[in-house]
Amino acid sequence: MSVSCIIGEDSSLKFHINDILKKKEIMEQILIENIARVSTLAKSPYNEQINDLLEISKILNDHMISDVTEIPCKRCNDKIKLRFMRLHIAKHFVNKEIKQNQNLCGYCGDIGCSIDLVVTSGKGNYSNYGPKSDCKYFRKFSIKPAEAASISYPTTNRPVICKICSQVYWSYNMAEHYNINHPQDQCPVYFSEKEASNLKSFDI
Ligand SMILES: [Zn+2]
Ligand SMILES: [Zn+2]
Ligand SMILES: [Zn+2]
């Protein structure tokens, strides 16, 4: 894990967390070494201490996810940096390694995370939009640049508004959304064959 992280993408509170990371690693090691031993005890003050430590560890974990934190893919278990997880999931999608579903989360590949579009800056015609989601793997990005696949980030999977029902769906899920909700209508094309083939050969 990188030792130089920023807590929260939009936080002004920036500081190095080497010390916290080290302490956390030591703490987790102690936990691993001791959990087996204490698990035989139904209830003891020691057990309560372990619970406290686990709680602290969880809080630290929740706050330490940054762009470069490696997190496990829920689909294949590979460790992927948070900033590349949307790309990694997109690759699973075009490789047809995930069953199509209109509610497939573009961040984590699971079903059930919310997705919405919100104004992040500007006003009216000059508004900039970004995603909003309760996904644990949520990461901010700007919609406008994401509409074109780049060489370093060759996916356009992003939240879009359905022109028919005005609900927000991930663009890769739109075809399935039309299949289910608007079978009489032609789904606009949201990603090209070229994007799919570039993504298939991208190493992520
Ligand atoms: Zn994966
Ligand atoms: Zn998710
Ligand atoms: Zn719709």
185 sits in the region (left: phi over 0; alpha: psi -120 to 50; else beta) called beta
**Considering every ligand atom, which ligand is closest to the CA of 108?**
2
pLDDT at 13: 40
Using the mean position of ligand 2's atoms as its centre, give its distance from the Cα of residue 70 in Å.
16
**Considering every ligand atom, which ligand is closest to the CA of 91?**
1
When mean pLDDT is compared across 6-15, 23-32, 40-49, the lowest value belongs to: 6-15
**Considering every ligand atom, which ligand is closest to the CA of 182?**
3
Q: What pTM was estimated for this model as a whole?
A: 0.70
Q: Which tens digits make up the pLDDT trace of 146-170?
A: 999 999 999 999 999 999 999 999 9
Residues 21-31, mean pLDDT to the nearest whole number = 68
**Considering every ligand atom, which ligand is closest to the CA of 114?**
2
Using the mean position of ligand 2's atoms as its centre, give its distance from the Cα of residue 113 in Å.
5
Q: Which tens digits make up the pLDDT trace of 130-146?
A: 999 999 999 999 999 99
When mean pLDDT is compared across 28-32, 74-78, 95-99, 153-157, the lowest value belongs to: 28-32
Using the mean position of ligand 2's atoms as its centre, give its distance from the Cα of residue 110 in Å.
5
pLDDT: which is higher, 134 or 21: 134
Q: Residue 28 has which token pair?
A: 């987790």
**Considering every ligand atom, which ligand is closest to the CA of 135?**
2
Residues with CB under 5 A from ligand 3 (ion): 162, 164-165, 181
pLDDT at 23: 66
Q: Which tens digits make up the pLDDT trace of 42-68?
A: 556 667 777 777 777 666 666 667 888
Residues 18-36, mean pLDDT to the nearest whole number = 65
Using the mean position of ligand 3's atoms as its centre, give its distance from the Cα of residue 93 in Å.
20
**Considering every ligand atom, which ligand is closest to the CA of 113?**
2
Q: Which tens digits make up the pLDDT trace of 164-198?
A: 999 999 999 999 999 999 999 999 999 999 999 99
Using the mean position of ligand 2's atoms as its centre, give its distance from the Cα of residue 41 in Å.
37
Using the mean position of ligand 2's atoms as its centre, give its distance from the Cα of residue 131 in Å.
12
Is residue 81 over pLDDT 90?
Answer: yes
pLDDT: which is higher, 10 or 36: 36
Mean pLDDT over the full length of the chain: 84
pLDDT band at 105 (very low <50, low <70, confident <90, very high): very high
**Considering every ligand atom, which ligand is closest to the CA of 137?**
2
Using the mean position of ligand 3's atoms as its centre, give its distance from the Cα of residue 178 in Å.
6
Percent of the chain with pLDDT over 70: 73
